[in-house]
Amino acid sequence: MAKFKFDIKCIFSQPVVQISSNLLPHTFIGDRRMAMDVTSKVSQIIDRLGELSAVAQKLSKPITSAQKLRMSENQTVYLMADINGCDGDVVIGLLKIGTKNLYLFDSSGQTRKIDKARCILDFYIHESRQRMGVGKILFDIMLTEEHWTPVKCSVDRPSEKLIQFLKKYYGLEKIIPQANKFVLYEGFFDEDGDDDANRG
C-alpha cells in the first residue's frame, strides 16, 4: 500500500477518483487555496504510484507522473484508495487511460490509422491487494465512466500480469500482432454496434 503523511480523505471522498490534467479529483469542491493544496497532494500520490508501477513492471523509469499528466489533455488517471481499512487510509491502485492517434495492423495485416484510439497506458494494483478482485473493480469503474468496452482498448506495453488479467476477466486472448508496443485483440476493428457482444 502507499501511505502518505497527509490526510488523503480530502482527495478520496469515494474509493475511486478521476484525475485529469488539472490534477484535481473529479469530485473536488473548494476555493483556489484548497485547490492548490489538493493538487500538491495528488501530485505526490500519482508520482508515488507511478514509481511503484514502474518497479512492479521492471521499467527503468515511471511512465506515469503528475508532470506528464499535467501536460496531457487527453489522459485520465483513476486512483483507488482503501479508506478506514485495517491498514489505515492507503492508496492501492492506479489506472491511466487516454486516447492516441495510432497506425495499427488489422487481422489481415493491413495498416489502419485510428484517430483517438482508446488506450490503457498504465495499470497498477499494490501487491498486497492483488488476486482479491480489486483490479477488476477499478477497471470496471473506468469502463463505465468512459463508456468503453475491453475489446476496443489498445494496451501500451502490457505486462504479463495485465495480459492474464484481461484474459481472465474479459476473455481477451486472440492478439493482433503489431509493429509498435501496443497490444490489441480480435474484435478491436469490429463496428461499434458489436461492442455489447464483445464486453466481457
Say whether 163 counts as a known binding-site residue: yes
Say whether 132 counts as a known binding-site residue: yes
Say whether 3 counts as a known binding-site residue: no
Say whether 41 counts as a known binding-site residue: no
Say whether 162 counts as a known binding-site residue: yes
Say whether 137 counts as a known binding-site residue: no
Say whether 139 counts as a known binding-site residue: no
Say whether 121 counts as a known binding-site residue: no
Say whether 93 counts as a known binding-site residue: no
Say whether 181 counts as a known binding-site residue: no
Say whether 96 counts as a known binding-site residue: no
Say whether 59 counts as a known binding-site residue: no
Say whether 131 counts as a known binding-site residue: yes
Say whether 112 counts as a known binding-site residue: no
Say whether 123 counts as a known binding-site residue: yes
Beta-strand ranges (E) seen in 126-185 are 154-156, 175-176, 182-185
Q: Determine contact, residues 81/69, Cβ cutoff 8 Å.
A: no
User: What residues pair up with 100 in beta bridges, in sequence order?
Assistant: 117
Say whether 4 counts as a known binding-site residue: no
Say whether 129 counts as a known binding-site residue: yes
Say whether 23 counts as a known binding-site residue: no
Q: Determine contact, residues 18/78, Cβ cutoff 8 Å.
A: yes
The rounded distance, in Å, linking the Cα atoms of 181 and 15 is 31
Say whether 126 counts as a known binding-site residue: yes
Say whether 12 counts as a known binding-site residue: no
Q: Mind giving me the DSSP string for 72-139?
A: -TTEEEEEEEEEEETTEEEEEEEEEEEEEEEEEE-TTS-EEEEEEEEEEEEEEE-GGGTTTTHHHHHH
- Which residues are documented as binding site? 123-136, 159-168
The binding site for acetyl-CoA comprises 123-136, 159-168
